[in-house]
Chain A
Amino acid sequence: MTKEFAVPPVDFSGGSTTGANFQQRRAPAPPFQPPRPSSASSSIPFMSFDAASAAASTPAGPFGGTIASSSSFGGGGGYASFEDEEPLLDELGIHPDQIWKKTRSILNPFRINKTVHKDSDLSGPIFLYLALCLFQLLAGKIQFGVILGWVVVSSIFLYIVFNMLAGRNGNLNLHTCTSLVGYSLLPVVMLSAVSLFVPQGAGPVRFVIAAAFVLWATRACSNLVVSLADGGEEHRGLISYACFLIYTLFSLLVIF
Chain B
Amino acid sequence: MYNNMGPQPGMPRPPGNPQPGPFGNPFTGAGSGFIRGGLGAYGERILGSSSEYVQSNISRYFSDPQYYFQVNDQYVRNKLKVVLFPFLHRGHWTRISEPVGGRLSYKPPIYDINAPDLYIPFMAFGTYVVLAGLSLGLNGKFTPEALNWLFVKGLVGWFLQVMLLKVTLLSLGSGEAPLLDIVAYGGYAFAGLCLAGFSKIMWGYSYYALMPWTCLCTGIFLVKTMKRVLFAEVRSYDSSKHHYLLLFLALVQFPLLIWLGNISVNWLF
Contacts and interface: CB of A to CB of B under 8 A. Distances in A.
Interface of A: 143, 146, 150, 157, 159-161, 163-174, 176, 202, 234-235, 237-238, 241-242, 245, 248-249, 252-253, 255-256
A173 B10 contact: yes
A252 B130 contact: yes
A249 B128 CA distance: 11
Given A164-B34, A170-B33, A245 B127 contact: yes
Interface in B135-166: 136-138, 140, 142, 144, 147
Contacts of A171: 10-12, 33, 37
Contacts of B137: 202, 252, 255-256
A167 B70 contact: yes
Nearest to B9: A173
Interface in B77-121: 118-119
Given A167-B29, A168-B28, A172-B10, A160 B123 contact: no
B72 A245 contact: no
**For chain B, what secondary structure do more than half of its interface residues adopt (helix, strand, loop), or is it mixed?**
helix
Given A150-B144, A171-B12, A238-B73, 20 more contacts: A157-B126, A160-B34, A161-B69, A161-B119, A163-B37, A164-B118, A165-B69, A167-B30, A167-B66, A167-B69, A170-B12, A170-B33, A171-B11, A173-B10, A173-B37, A174-B37, A202-B137, A252-B130, A253-B144, A256-B142
B33 A163 contact: yes
Nearest to B34: A163
Given A167-B69, A173-B37, A245 B133 contact: no
Bin the interface of chain B by size: 35 or more
B234 interface: no
Given A165-B69, A171-B10, A252 B134 contact: yes
Contacts of B9: 173
Contacts, number: 85
Interface in B1-18: 9-12
Contacts of A249: 129-130, 133
B69 A143 contact: no
Interface of B: 9-12, 28-30, 33-34, 37-38, 65-66, 68-73, 76, 118-119, 122-123, 126-127, 129-130, 133-134, 136-138, 140, 142, 144, 147
B142 A238 contact: no
B130 A248 contact: yes
Q: Which 5 A-B pairs have the closest CB atoms?
A: A173-B10, A256-B137, A256-B142, A164-B69, A146-B144
B30 A164 contact: yes
Contacts of B72: 234-235, 238
11 contacts: A167-B30, A167-B69, A168-B28, A170-B12, A173-B37, A174-B37, A245-B126, A249-B133, A252-B137, A252-B142, A256-B136
Nearest to B142: A256
Nearest to B14: A168
Given A168-B29, A245-B126, A255-B137, A237 B119 contact: no
Contacts of A253: 144
Contact of A143 (B66, B119, B129, B144): B144
Given A168-B30, A238-B73, A252 B123 contact: no
A164 B76 CA distance: 15
B127 A170 contact: no
A235 B72 CA distance: 7
Contact of B138 (A166, A170, A202): A202
Contacts of B33: 163, 170-171
A202 B73 CA distance: 34
Given A164-B30, A174-B37, A238-B71, A252 B12 contact: no
Nearest to A168: B29
